[in-house]
Amino acid sequence: MIYQIKVIGLLDPSWSEWLGGIQLSSEDQPDGSALTTLTVDAADQPTLFGILDRIRDLNICLVSVTKDGREI
């Protein structure tokens, strides 16, 4: 299943490998801040939760998690 995880800030592309080879893309927001989207192909929920745990452990602000374009 493909999930998109949005976080506040600009994550360095080298984090892709550390987070399990996921795709990172960033965009600037109107207020000048950055938003990074992590595209994850997670085979199951434990895989997804493992990535979310890493984001939490790094104290990165989570904005949203979507699956098939729907927030979960």
**pLDDT tens profile 19-52:** 777 899 999 989 989 999 999 988 899 989 998 9
Q: Which domain holds residue 49?
A: 2-71
The answer on pLDDT for 18 being more than 80 is no
pTM of the model: 0.86
Q: For the chain, how many structural domains are there in total?
A: 1
Domain holding 43: CATH number? 3.30.70.260
Question: Which residues, 6+ apart, have CB-to-CB distance to 12 below 8 Å?
Answer: none
The answer on pLDDT for 53 being more than 80 is yes
Share of the chain above pLDDT 90, in %: 56
- Whether residue 51 contacts residue 4, with contact meaning beta carbons closer than 8 Å, is answered with no
- Whether residue 8 contacts residue 19, with contact meaning beta carbons closer than 8 Å, is answered with no
- Whether residue 50 contacts residue 60, with contact meaning beta carbons closer than 8 Å, is answered with no
The answer on pLDDT for 63 being more than 80 is yes
Alpha helices in the chain, H assignment, sequence order:
15-18, 45-57
Supply angle C-alpha 5, 43, 37, rounded to 5: 15
